[in-house]
Amino acid sequence: MSSDLKNLTEKSSNLSINPIFDRNWCDMPAEIKVECIGKMELIERLLLRSTAKAERSLVDSQKIRIHRCAIHGRPEFRRVVLASENKRTVIGSFRKANKEFEFLKYIWKIGVIENLYIWLDGEDSKKELENFTGTISAKNINFHFCDEEFIVAILGKTKTGVESITMNADRGISYSVDEILKISHVQNAKYWQIDNYKRTSVLCKVAQVWIDINSKIGTTFQLSTEVYGLFHEFLNHFSDRVVSISQIRVRIRTNNPDHHILLELGFDGFVEFQHSFKFFRLMVMSSKMEESEYESDNCRKWIRRMKPEFYVDDM
């Protein structure tokens, strides 16, 4: 028995059990590094890509999900705020547009963005955007005080898959939606919203595009404006398509017998008394839907999506 143990011990001591690789990062094979990078947060990736060209190449080859990307690109204030799905935040501040866009080009290259918030202004930002030849992957896009030129440029560089688009036309911004409506992302978005719009005809133009391209049931456009007369303008424009009408709703036919378009005026006593805004919701609906199936929540639910501050007490 003792001799067997002695032989076993001698054999064991002669065995060489070498690791597949050393524990030093530099000694790891590229495929293992890629697996590790895929589990890193954005801040960790940024730190790693600054160590060496080889590591930068590996980091840049991997996509990362970004919950929120907020871009402030004004001459007096340049900052990019990134939040991961785990709510970890990266903040970059910049003095010049070229430095800000150098960082953004990297983020847009590797990022799959859930919520993209954009506030861009200035000729230097426009020039940098014009020179950007890549694409942007974003699900929900919020344009905050951006003019038409920025909106068209950003959407023109965005990949398919945009689900919602919101725009704020406050602070003296005024633009026609004609060029914006030509963009496929806008035409195909499930939800599109414009706050503080200052021109007429927008409801007619949106509905006409939906009719022309046979938009899907559920497609929605919402508008807040201080311009009066849009409800009657819509009614007169589509008078030959009217299916039904009330004080706050107009329902019209489309070229598809299965689809109707419903315009609703957000009539709410509190909003009417406290604010000068008018709220409209335009939707593609089934032609089989009965009027009894319309939402009867006094429109607060969909107005709140545009102006949550109006109903603070309800939250």
CB 249 within 8 A of CB 264: yes
Note whether 228 and 213 are same-domain residues: yes
210 part of a folded domain: yes
Residue 276 pLDDT exceeds 80: no
**Percent of all residues in the chain with a pLDDT value above 90, rounded to a whole number:** 52
> Are 166 and 220 contained in the same domain?
no
Q: Are residues 49 and 96 located together in one domain of the fold?
A: no
What pLDDT shows up at residue 16? 46
Mean pLDDT of the chain: 86
User: Which domain covers residue 85, as residue numbers?
Assistant: 63-189
CA 160 to centroid of chain Cα atoms: 11
Structural domain contains residue 194 = no
What pLDDT score was predicted for residue 302? 85
Mark whether 168 and 228 lie in a shared domain. no
Q: In this structure, are 90 and 138 located in the same domain?
A: yes
pTM higher than the cut 0.95: no
pLDDT at 23: 65
Q: For the segment 59-85, what is each residue's pLDDT rounded down to a tens digit?
A: 888 888 999 999 998 877 899 999 988
How much is the average pLDDT of 160-171? 91
Same domain, 53 and 103: no
Strand-pair category, 249-253 with 259-265 = antiparallel
In a domain, 10, yes or no: no
> Tens of pLDDT along 134-148?
999 999 999 998 989
Cβ contact 149:100 at 8 Å: no
Strand order of the β-sheet with 89-93 is 89-93, 77-83, 64-74, 111-120, 138-144, 164-168, 191-197, 220-225, 278-286, 259-265, 249-253, 242-245
pLDDT, tens digit, 9 for 90 and up, residues 240-252: 999 999 989 999 9
Shared domain check, 48 and 35: yes
Inside any domain, residue 76: yes
On whether residue 18 sits in a domain, the answer given is no
Q: What's the total number of domains in the chain?
A: 3
- Model confidence at 296, pLDDT cuts 50, 70, 90, reads low
Residue 2 located in a structural domain: no
Q: Summarize pLDDT for 90-115 with one digit per residue, the tens.
A: 999 998 999 999 999 999 999 999 99
Is residue 75 located within the same domain as residue 157?
yes
Place of tokens 């007490």: 313
User: 171 and 211 share a domain?
Assistant: no
The domain that holds 264 is classified in CATH as 3.30.310
Residues 55 and 69 in one domain: no
Residue 15 lies in a domain: no
Residue 78 CA: distances (Å) to CA of 50, 95, 109, 142, 237? 22, 7, 20, 17, 44
**pLDDT number for residue 273:** 46
Does residue 276 lie in a domain region? yes
Residues 104 and 184 in one domain: yes
DSSP bridge partners of 142? 117, 166
Please say which residue of 136, 160, 189 terminates a domain.
189
| Same domain (yes/no): 175, 250 | no
